[in-house]
Amino acid sequence: MPTQPPHTPAGGATPVLELVGIERHFAGHGGTVRAADGVTLTVGRGEVVGLVGESGSGKSTVGRCAVRLDEPTGGTVRINGRDVTRLSRRALRPLRKDFHLVFQDPSSSLDPRMTVGQIIAEPLRLHGIAKGDAARARTAELLGQVGLRPEHAQRRPHELSGGQRQRISIARALSVDPDLLVADEPTSALDVSVQASVLNLLADLQRDRGFGCLFITHDLAAVEFLADRIAVMYLGQIVEQAPTAELFADPKHPYTRALLSAAPVPDPAIQRTRERIVLSGELPSPLAPPPGCRFHTRCPLAVERCRTEVPGLRELPGNAAEGGRRQVSCHLVGDDGTAPDAAAAPALRTIPSTRTAR
Protein backbone atom coordinates (compact mmCIF):
# COMPACT_ATOMS: atom_id res chain seq x y z
CA MET A 1 0.00 0.00 0.00
CA PRO A 2 1.45 3.44 -0.84
CA THR A 3 2.57 5.44 2.19
CA GLN A 4 1.79 9.09 2.71
CA PRO A 5 4.83 11.22 3.59
CA PRO A 6 4.99 11.89 7.32
CA HIS A 7 3.66 15.08 8.82
CA THR A 8 6.39 17.72 9.14
CA PRO A 9 6.28 19.90 12.25
CA ALA A 10 5.82 23.63 11.89
CA GLY A 11 9.00 25.41 10.91
CA GLY A 12 10.45 22.37 9.19
CA ALA A 13 12.28 21.14 12.33
CA THR A 14 13.39 17.52 12.42
CA PRO A 15 10.77 15.47 14.31
CA VAL A 16 11.88 13.63 17.43
CA LEU A 17 10.05 10.55 16.08
CA GLU A 18 9.35 9.46 12.52
CA LEU A 19 7.60 6.19 11.77
CA VAL A 20 7.42 5.42 8.05
CA GLY A 21 5.41 2.42 6.86
CA ILE A 22 5.88 0.52 10.12
CA GLU A 23 4.79 -3.12 10.03
CA ARG A 24 4.81 -5.59 12.91
CA HIS A 25 3.66 -9.08 12.04
CA PHE A 26 3.65 -12.05 14.42
CA ALA A 27 3.85 -15.52 12.91
CA GLY A 28 1.95 -18.28 14.69
CA HIS A 29 0.33 -21.65 14.12
CA GLY A 30 -2.92 -19.99 13.09
CA GLY A 31 -1.28 -17.64 10.58
CA THR A 32 0.30 -14.20 10.66
CA VAL A 33 -1.08 -11.52 12.96
CA ARG A 34 -0.76 -8.09 11.33
CA ALA A 35 -0.67 -6.02 14.49
CA ALA A 36 0.69 -2.93 12.71
CA ASP A 37 0.43 -2.73 8.95
CA GLY A 38 1.94 0.32 7.28
CA VAL A 39 1.80 2.98 10.00
CA THR A 40 3.29 6.39 9.17
CA LEU A 41 3.38 8.91 12.00
CA THR A 42 5.56 11.70 13.37
CA VAL A 43 5.97 13.49 16.68
CA GLY A 44 7.48 16.96 16.59
CA ARG A 45 9.61 18.61 19.26
CA GLY A 46 7.39 19.84 22.05
CA GLU A 47 4.34 18.19 20.47
CA VAL A 48 1.92 15.69 22.02
CA VAL A 49 0.44 13.27 19.48
CA GLY A 50 -2.44 11.09 20.64
CA LEU A 51 -2.85 7.59 19.21
CA VAL A 52 -6.36 6.27 19.78
CA GLY A 53 -8.46 3.28 18.78
CA GLU A 54 -10.31 0.39 20.36
CA SER A 55 -8.56 -2.55 21.99
CA GLY A 56 -6.74 -4.69 19.43
CA SER A 57 -6.18 -1.87 16.94
CA GLY A 58 -2.38 -2.03 17.30
CA LYS A 59 -1.69 1.14 19.30
CA SER A 60 0.64 -0.41 21.85
CA THR A 61 2.49 -2.35 19.18
CA VAL A 62 3.26 0.91 17.37
CA GLY A 63 4.51 2.43 20.62
CA ARG A 64 6.77 -0.54 21.33
CA CYS A 65 8.17 -0.40 17.79
CA ALA A 66 8.84 3.33 18.23
CA VAL A 67 11.20 2.65 21.16
CA ARG A 68 12.53 -0.60 19.67
CA LEU A 69 11.09 -2.90 22.34
CA ASP A 70 9.51 -4.71 19.40
CA GLU A 71 11.46 -5.23 16.18
CA PRO A 72 9.46 -3.88 13.21
CA THR A 73 8.83 -6.40 10.45
CA GLY A 74 9.08 -3.57 7.93
CA GLY A 75 9.30 0.20 7.69
CA THR A 76 11.60 2.76 9.27
CA VAL A 77 11.97 4.26 12.77
CA ARG A 78 13.90 7.52 13.06
CA ILE A 79 14.74 9.25 16.34
CA ASN A 80 15.93 12.84 15.95
CA GLY A 81 16.42 12.15 12.25
CA ARG A 82 18.60 9.06 12.79
CA ASP A 83 17.49 5.69 11.45
CA VAL A 84 17.45 3.30 14.42
CA THR A 85 15.37 0.56 12.81
CA ARG A 86 18.12 -2.02 12.40
CA LEU A 87 20.66 -0.91 14.98
CA SER A 88 22.06 -3.65 17.21
CA ARG A 89 21.41 -3.53 20.95
CA ARG A 90 24.97 -2.34 21.52
CA ALA A 91 24.67 0.47 18.96
CA LEU A 92 21.24 1.45 20.26
CA ARG A 93 22.16 1.58 23.95
CA PRO A 94 23.80 5.04 24.04
CA LEU A 95 20.84 6.45 22.11
CA ARG A 96 18.23 5.14 24.55
CA LYS A 97 18.58 8.18 26.78
CA ASP A 98 16.86 10.12 23.98
CA PHE A 99 13.60 8.15 24.23
CA HIS A 100 11.74 6.38 27.02
CA LEU A 101 8.50 4.50 27.55
CA VAL A 102 5.99 4.80 30.39
CA PHE A 103 4.21 1.47 30.65
CA GLN A 104 0.52 0.91 31.22
CA ASP A 105 0.81 -0.96 34.54
CA PRO A 106 3.37 0.45 36.99
CA SER A 107 2.91 -2.60 39.24
CA SER A 108 4.57 -4.84 36.66
CA SER A 109 7.08 -2.33 35.23
CA LEU A 110 8.86 -1.46 38.51
CA ASP A 111 11.32 -3.94 40.03
CA PRO A 112 9.88 -4.92 43.45
CA ARG A 113 13.39 -5.69 44.79
CA MET A 114 14.64 -2.14 44.25
CA THR A 115 13.91 0.98 46.25
CA VAL A 116 12.30 3.96 44.57
CA GLY A 117 15.62 5.80 44.71
CA GLN A 118 17.40 2.92 42.97
CA ILE A 119 14.70 2.72 40.29
CA ILE A 120 14.93 6.41 39.39
CA ALA A 121 18.73 6.50 39.58
CA GLU A 122 19.25 3.41 37.42
CA PRO A 123 19.07 5.26 34.04
CA LEU A 124 21.48 7.89 35.40
CA ARG A 125 23.95 5.15 36.28
CA LEU A 126 23.53 3.16 33.06
CA HIS A 127 24.12 6.22 30.88
CA GLY A 128 26.98 7.52 33.00
CA ILE A 129 25.19 10.77 33.82
CA ALA A 130 25.43 10.72 37.61
CA LYS A 131 26.29 8.46 40.54
CA GLY A 132 26.67 8.66 44.30
CA ASP A 133 25.63 11.96 45.88
CA ALA A 134 24.89 13.53 42.48
CA ALA A 135 22.48 10.71 41.61
CA ARG A 136 20.78 10.96 45.01
CA ALA A 137 20.36 14.71 44.61
CA ARG A 138 18.93 14.26 41.13
CA THR A 139 16.55 11.58 42.43
CA ALA A 140 15.27 13.88 45.19
CA GLU A 141 14.75 16.63 42.61
CA LEU A 142 12.80 14.31 40.34
CA LEU A 143 10.64 13.08 43.21
CA GLY A 144 9.69 16.68 43.93
CA GLN A 145 8.89 17.31 40.27
CA VAL A 146 6.40 14.41 40.20
CA GLY A 147 4.76 15.44 43.47
CA LEU A 148 6.44 13.02 45.89
CA ARG A 149 8.64 13.58 48.95
CA PRO A 150 12.38 12.79 49.31
CA GLU A 151 11.63 10.06 51.88
CA HIS A 152 9.78 8.08 49.19
CA ALA A 153 13.23 7.20 47.81
CA GLN A 154 13.67 4.63 50.60
CA ARG A 155 10.40 2.81 49.92
CA ARG A 156 9.71 -0.07 47.59
CA PRO A 157 6.97 -0.08 44.92
CA HIS A 158 4.57 -2.29 46.92
CA GLU A 159 4.51 0.35 49.68
CA LEU A 160 3.07 2.96 47.31
CA SER A 161 -0.35 3.53 45.77
CA GLY A 162 -1.00 2.97 42.06
CA GLY A 163 -0.88 6.68 41.33
CA GLN A 164 2.40 7.06 43.22
CA ARG A 165 3.91 4.11 41.34
CA GLN A 166 3.00 5.69 38.02
CA ARG A 167 4.61 8.94 39.16
CA ILE A 168 7.78 6.93 39.87
CA SER A 169 7.59 5.48 36.34
CA ILE A 170 7.34 8.99 34.91
CA ALA A 171 10.25 10.21 37.06
CA ARG A 172 12.40 7.29 35.90
CA ALA A 173 11.55 7.94 32.24
CA LEU A 174 12.39 11.65 32.55
CA SER A 175 15.53 11.24 34.67
CA VAL A 176 17.83 11.51 31.62
CA ASP A 177 15.87 14.35 29.95
CA PRO A 178 14.69 12.40 26.87
CA ASP A 179 13.57 14.14 23.70
CA LEU A 180 10.72 11.64 23.27
CA LEU A 181 8.36 10.06 25.79
CA VAL A 182 6.02 7.26 24.70
CA ALA A 183 3.19 6.96 27.24
CA ASP A 184 1.28 3.71 26.71
CA GLU A 185 -2.13 4.05 28.40
CA PRO A 186 -0.47 5.60 31.49
CA THR A 187 -3.73 6.11 33.40
CA SER A 188 -5.80 3.04 32.45
CA ALA A 189 -4.56 0.94 35.42
CA LEU A 190 -5.30 3.73 37.90
CA ASP A 191 -8.38 4.61 39.92
CA VAL A 192 -10.51 7.30 38.32
CA SER A 193 -9.82 9.56 41.29
CA VAL A 194 -6.08 9.72 40.51
CA GLN A 195 -6.18 9.66 36.70
CA ALA A 196 -6.70 13.42 36.44
CA SER A 197 -3.74 14.17 38.69
CA VAL A 198 -1.41 12.00 36.59
CA LEU A 199 -2.65 13.62 33.38
CA ASN A 200 -2.10 17.08 34.85
CA LEU A 201 1.39 16.02 35.90
CA LEU A 202 2.21 14.82 32.36
CA ALA A 203 0.85 18.04 30.86
CA ASP A 204 2.89 20.22 33.24
CA LEU A 205 6.11 18.26 32.72
CA GLN A 206 5.71 18.24 28.94
CA ARG A 207 5.10 21.97 28.86
CA ASP A 208 8.06 22.72 31.16
CA ARG A 209 10.56 20.34 29.55
CA GLY A 210 9.39 20.53 25.94
CA PHE A 211 9.81 16.85 25.07
CA GLY A 212 7.78 15.23 22.28
CA CYS A 213 5.19 12.74 23.49
CA LEU A 214 3.35 9.87 21.80
CA PHE A 215 0.31 9.45 24.05
CA ILE A 216 -1.39 6.09 23.49
CA THR A 217 -4.86 5.77 24.96
CA HIS A 218 -8.46 4.72 24.48
CA ASP A 219 -9.63 7.55 26.74
CA LEU A 220 -10.97 10.24 24.40
CA ALA A 221 -11.38 12.82 27.16
CA ALA A 222 -7.72 12.37 28.14
CA VAL A 223 -6.44 12.69 24.60
CA GLU A 224 -8.56 15.78 23.97
CA PHE A 225 -7.06 17.36 27.09
CA LEU A 226 -3.43 16.46 26.40
CA ALA A 227 -2.81 16.07 22.66
CA ASP A 228 -2.02 18.69 20.02
CA ARG A 229 -2.73 16.23 17.21
CA ILE A 230 -4.52 12.87 17.06
CA ALA A 231 -4.09 9.77 14.92
CA VAL A 232 -6.92 7.22 14.88
CA MET A 233 -6.05 3.54 14.38
CA TYR A 234 -8.24 0.71 13.21
CA LEU A 235 -7.03 -2.88 12.74
CA GLY A 236 -3.35 -2.05 12.42
CA GLN A 237 -3.67 1.06 10.24
CA ILE A 238 -4.16 4.79 10.72
CA VAL A 239 -7.48 5.89 9.25
CA GLU A 240 -7.44 9.58 10.18
CA GLN A 241 -5.03 12.23 11.48
CA ALA A 242 -5.85 15.81 12.41
CA PRO A 243 -5.18 18.56 14.94
CA THR A 244 -7.17 17.78 18.08
CA ALA A 245 -9.65 20.65 17.86
CA GLU A 246 -10.43 19.89 14.20
CA LEU A 247 -10.85 16.16 14.80
CA PHE A 248 -13.31 16.62 17.65
CA ALA A 249 -15.22 19.40 15.89
CA ASP A 250 -15.49 17.67 12.50
CA PRO A 251 -14.42 14.00 12.30
CA LYS A 252 -14.25 12.76 8.70
CA HIS A 253 -13.80 8.98 8.78
CA PRO A 254 -16.95 6.96 9.68
CA TYR A 255 -14.96 5.06 12.31
CA THR A 256 -13.76 8.28 13.96
CA ARG A 257 -17.31 9.60 13.98
CA ALA A 258 -18.60 6.44 15.66
CA LEU A 259 -15.72 6.49 18.16
CA LEU A 260 -16.36 10.10 19.18
CA SER A 261 -20.12 9.58 19.38
CA ALA A 262 -19.54 6.97 22.09
CA ALA A 263 -17.60 9.37 24.32
CA PRO A 264 -19.62 10.80 27.24
CA VAL A 265 -20.15 14.57 27.27
CA PRO A 266 -20.05 16.47 30.59
CA ASP A 267 -22.97 18.74 29.61
CA PRO A 268 -26.25 16.86 30.31
CA ALA A 269 -28.15 19.02 27.80
CA ILE A 270 -25.80 18.00 24.98
CA GLN A 271 -25.75 14.37 26.15
CA ARG A 272 -29.54 14.15 26.04
CA THR A 273 -29.82 15.50 22.49
CA ARG A 274 -26.82 13.75 20.92
CA GLU A 275 -27.26 10.58 18.91
CA ARG A 276 -24.82 7.73 19.27
CA ILE A 277 -23.66 5.79 16.20
CA VAL A 278 -23.84 2.06 16.87
CA LEU A 279 -21.57 -0.18 14.83
CA SER A 280 -22.64 -3.74 14.17
CA GLY A 281 -20.24 -6.66 14.38
CA GLU A 282 -16.91 -7.16 16.08
CA LEU A 283 -13.41 -5.98 15.22
CA PRO A 284 -12.16 -8.43 12.55
CA SER A 285 -9.21 -10.64 13.37
CA PRO A 286 -5.76 -9.26 12.47
CA LEU A 287 -5.02 -12.82 11.32
CA ALA A 288 -7.25 -12.24 8.32
CA PRO A 289 -7.97 -8.54 7.68
CA PRO A 290 -10.87 -7.89 5.30
CA PRO A 291 -10.05 -6.95 1.70
CA GLY A 292 -10.46 -3.36 0.58
CA CYS A 293 -11.12 -0.93 3.40
CA ARG A 294 -10.64 -2.80 6.66
CA PHE A 295 -13.57 -0.96 8.22
CA HIS A 296 -16.09 -1.91 5.53
CA THR A 297 -17.41 -4.95 7.45
CA ARG A 298 -18.71 -2.60 10.17
CA CYS A 299 -19.19 0.62 8.24
CA PRO A 300 -22.84 1.63 7.75
CA LEU A 301 -21.89 3.70 4.68
CA ALA A 302 -19.78 1.14 2.80
CA VAL A 303 -20.23 0.77 -0.96
CA GLU A 304 -18.85 -1.84 -3.36
CA ARG A 305 -15.61 0.06 -3.89
CA CYS A 306 -14.93 -0.08 -0.14
CA ARG A 307 -15.09 -3.89 -0.25
CA THR A 308 -12.53 -4.30 -3.00
CA GLU A 309 -10.19 -1.28 -3.15
CA VAL A 310 -7.77 -0.30 -0.37
CA PRO A 311 -8.09 3.44 0.39
CA GLY A 312 -4.82 5.32 0.73
CA LEU A 313 -4.16 7.83 3.50
CA ARG A 314 -4.56 11.11 1.65
CA GLU A 315 -4.25 14.71 2.59
CA LEU A 316 -7.24 17.01 3.08
CA PRO A 317 -7.40 20.78 3.46
CA GLY A 318 -6.55 21.67 7.05
CA ASN A 319 -6.37 24.70 9.26
CA ALA A 320 -2.68 25.62 9.32
CA ALA A 321 -3.28 27.77 12.39
CA GLU A 322 -4.25 24.64 14.30
CA GLY A 323 -0.87 23.00 13.73
CA GLY A 324 -0.91 20.95 10.55
CA ARG A 325 -2.70 19.05 7.92
CA ARG A 326 -5.50 16.51 7.96
CA GLN A 327 -5.28 13.01 6.52
CA VAL A 328 -7.99 10.43 6.03
CA SER A 329 -8.23 6.93 4.59
CA CYS A 330 -11.77 6.71 3.20
CA HIS A 331 -13.16 6.51 -0.33
CA LEU A 332 -16.30 8.38 0.74
CA VAL A 333 -14.61 11.55 2.00
CA GLY A 334 -14.26 14.13 -0.76
CA ASP A 335 -10.94 15.74 -1.67
CA ASP A 336 -12.34 18.99 -0.29
CA GLY A 337 -12.89 17.31 3.08
CA THR A 338 -16.62 16.73 2.65
CA ALA A 339 -17.59 13.87 4.95
CA PRO A 340 -20.06 11.17 3.82
CA ASP A 341 -23.71 11.85 4.57
CA ALA A 342 -24.68 9.59 7.46
CA ALA A 343 -28.36 10.45 7.09
CA ALA A 344 -28.41 8.94 3.62
CA ALA A 345 -27.38 5.49 4.89
CA PRO A 346 -30.38 3.36 5.91
CA ALA A 347 -28.03 0.82 7.50
CA LEU A 348 -26.86 3.33 10.07
CA ARG A 349 -28.28 2.70 13.52
CA THR A 350 -28.43 5.49 16.09
CA ILE A 351 -29.78 5.32 19.59
CA PRO A 352 -30.76 8.18 21.86
CA SER A 353 -28.06 9.12 24.33
CA THR A 354 -30.54 8.70 27.20
CA ARG A 355 -30.33 4.95 26.57
CA THR A 356 -26.54 4.82 26.29
CA ALA A 357 -26.05 6.79 29.51
CA ARG A 358 -27.72 4.18 31.72
Per-position DSSP letters for 218-233, written without gaps between them = S-HHHHHHH-SEEEEE
Spatial separation of the C-alpha atoms in residues 236 and 124, rounded to whole Å: 35
Report helix, strand or coil for 265.
coil
* Residue 353 reports pLDDT greater than 50: no
Share of the chain above pLDDT 70, in %: 86
Q: What is the pLDDT of residue 356?
A: 33
Q: Categorize the per-residue pLDDT at 262 as very low, low, confident or very high, splitting at 50, 70 and 90.
A: confident
The pLDDT value given to residue 281: 74
| pLDDT recorded at residue 265 | 66
Using pLDDT thresholds of 50, 70 and 90, give the confidence band for residue 282: confident
pLDDT in tens, 314-327: 998 865 545 557 99
- pTM equals 0.88
Task: Please compute the mean of the pLDDT values over residues 29-57 and round it to a whole number.
Answer: 93
pLDDT classification of 266: cutoffs 50, 70, 90: low
Integer Cα distance of 72 and 39 in angstroms: 11
pLDDT at 355 over 60: no
Mean per-residue pLDDT for 89-99?
Answer: 93
Please state the rounded mean pLDDT for residues 109-121.
94
For the chain, what is the mean pLDDT? Answer: 86
**pLDDT above 90: percentage of residues in the chain:** 68
The string of DSSP codes covering 275-301 is EEEE--S-PPPTTSPPSSSTTTTT-TT
Q: What is the per-residue DSSP string for 156-215?
A: -GGGS-HHHHHHHHHHHHHTT--SEEEEESTTTTS-HHHHHHHHHHHHHHHHHH--EEEE
State pLDDT tens for residues 225-251: 999 999 999 999 999 999 999 999 999
CA distances 86 to 27, 65, 71, 99, 210, Å, are 20, 11, 8, 16, 28
Q: How many CA atoms lie within 13 A of 304 on its CB side?
A: 0
Question: What's the pLDDT score for residue 261?
Answer: 85
Of 15, 25, 70, the closest CA to residue 236 belongs to: 25
Q: Given a cut of 90, is residue 303 above it in pLDDT?
A: yes
Given a cut of 90, whether residue 81 has pLDDT beyond it is yes
Does 135 score more than 70 pLDDT?
yes
The β-bridge relationship of strands 99-102 and 180-184 is: parallel
Which pLDDT score, from 0 to 100, does residue 192 have?
Answer: 81
